[in-house]
Amino acid sequence: MNQPATARPQPRRNANSRSTAGFSLIELMIVVAIVGILAAVAIPSFRTYIQKSKTAEAVTFLGEIRQREESYRAEFGTYCAAPVAPRATPTSASVSWSVAANSAWNQLGAAPDSAVRFTYEVLAGAPGTAGPAGSNITGNDFWYVSRATGDLDGDGVLVLFETYSASSGVWIGNPTTGTTNAAGWE
């Protein structure tokens, strides 16, 4: 027997109901506001992270200079002074630097692994001589001060990293004023 096909009942739509196929303007504005707040929090943190990662080069190379200076002193009885290299302070981009072109750096044996974002310099002195201004070096022993100077974010404001023969710390300062232990990176 054939049974008659029954028609399926269609759902009734209320004249006041809306379609749920998209987002309302309010919902989109809330999402945009949340993304804006997250960006406002994340961007300064990201900039700080980038600046800290750029400083790793200076701290690492100053550590290598420290090791080379102690080896040099063990062999020759004094520390090795080395002039500023590379000659121009790099801006936000890194520059290549050849140690072979400079006899003092070549003699010290400290060489960067790749292009650098800082200029480096080593000052050295004999017992009884005063160190550079702001270094507080006095005493009856040989001394050295190694410095890294650079512009971390290309704004023209330089930052100075220093290590001393009498200490294992790295000091951060402003090369213009000669102050160390400055707050922040620049």
* Residue-level pLDDT at 22: 80
Residues 107-126: tens digit of each pLDDT? 888 888 888 888 899 999 88
- Cα 25–30–34 angle (5° rounding)? 150
* Residue-level pLDDT at 89: 67
- Please tell me the distance from the alpha carbon of residue 19 to that of residue 95, in angstroms, as a whole number: 60
* Residue-level pLDDT at 65: 92
Q: Please compute, for residue 85, the number of CA atoms within 13 A of its CA located in the half-sphere on the CB side.
A: 21
Q: In Å, how far are 60, 85, 150, 164, 182 from 116, measured between CA atoms?
A: 12, 10, 9, 21, 23
* Residue-level pLDDT at 130: 77
* Residue-level pLDDT at 11: 61
Q: Please classify residue 154 by burial: count the beta carbons closer than 10 Å to its beta carbon, then call 0-12 exposed, 13-18 middle and 19+ buried.
A: exposed
Strands 159-164 and 171-174: antiparallel
* Residue-level pLDDT at 9: 63
Q: In Å, how far are 56, 61, 125 from 143, measured between CA atoms?
A: 24, 18, 5
- Please tell me the distance from the alpha carbon of residue 33 to that of residue 127, in angstroms, as a whole number: 64
pTM: 0.69
Weakly modelled stretches of the chain, pLDDT under 50: 182-186
* Residue-level pLDDT at 152: 79
